[in-house]
Amino acid sequence: MALFYQHNINEDSRLGIWRIEEPESFFLDKVSLDPAVSHPVKRLQHLAGRWLLPTLYPDFPLDDILIASTRKPFLESEKYHFSISHCGLFAAAIVSRTQRVGIDLERITERIRPIAGKFLNPSERKFLSEDHRRFLEQWGLHQKMDLELLTLIWSAKESLFKWYGQGGLDFRKHMRLSGAILFGEDEWMELPFLFSKNNRIRLSVQARLFGNLALAFVLS
């Protein structure tokens, strides 16, 4: 078994990260493989992500999963709300009985910098400016933190995209970091966002670093 991390968010919501160390045959005992997924790594990611759902809640009805036109998986009964993310040989999932959810897992690499213009708005660019990096260093945070913050913001917006589930979002316009990042207990951080696709909604994205991985989730 390779459950890398589990977090019981509240009495109705749980998340987990699976480190993929098993062959396909291990997962196929419980999970059906989508024939549209052909690449070997993506097949393992798909299987591990689905495997996590009943790992978090044993009565999760895997066979009832449907796929929306936006490619979002869901349960028509809404017995559970869930979201899945993959990154290399890791899969993450969040499941809630009562709230809509979104989760994203990203590897922290320099490759995020060239695409930053696709998801950062001017206020977020200012937040990641040289002045803010100096502020972070005053608190003893290492110089890599700007890359980590950039990845966390990207991951947070991806989790919001999955939470919304209907597509058609502008990552710069419809999702805006709306305040300072708060550092809480157990290495978790809180990123406040203003989501404004149709109505203006203030949402709190929770995020955490695991070495060179960034995890973000939202539930509301």
C-alpha span between 190 and 182 (Å, rounded): 5
Per-residue pLDDT, averaged over 167-178, amounts to: 94
Per-residue pLDDT, averaged over 118-123, amounts to: 92
Give residue 92's pLDDT.
Answer: 98
Residue recorded with tokens 């550092």: 183
Q: How confident is the model at residue 136 (pLDDT cuts 50, 70, 90)?
A: low
Q: How confident is the prediction for the chain on average, in pLDDT?
A: 90
Q: Are 91 and 10 in contact (CB under 8 A)?
A: no
Contacts of 51 (CB under 8 A, 6+ apart): 18, 27, 30, 31, 91
Q: Are 161 and 119 in contact (CB under 8 A)?
A: no
> Taking each helix axis from N to C terminus, what angle separates 145-164 and 130-138, rounded to the nearest 10 degrees?
110
C-alpha span between 193 and 200 (Å, rounded): 10
- Percent of the chain residues past pLDDT 90, beyond the cut: 69
- Burial track 59-98 (b if 16+ CB lie within 10 A, e otherwise): ebeeeebeeeeeebbbbeeeebbbbbbbbeebbbbbbbee
pLDDT tens for 43-59 read: 999 999 999 999 999 99
Q: What is the pTM of this model?
A: 0.91
Domains annotated for the chain, with CATH where assigned, are: 3-99 (3.90.470.20), 112-219 (3.90.470.20)
Q: What is residue 98's DSSP assignment?
A: S
Residue 116 is encoded by which pair of tokens? 């930053």
pLDDT surpassing 80 at residue 151: yes
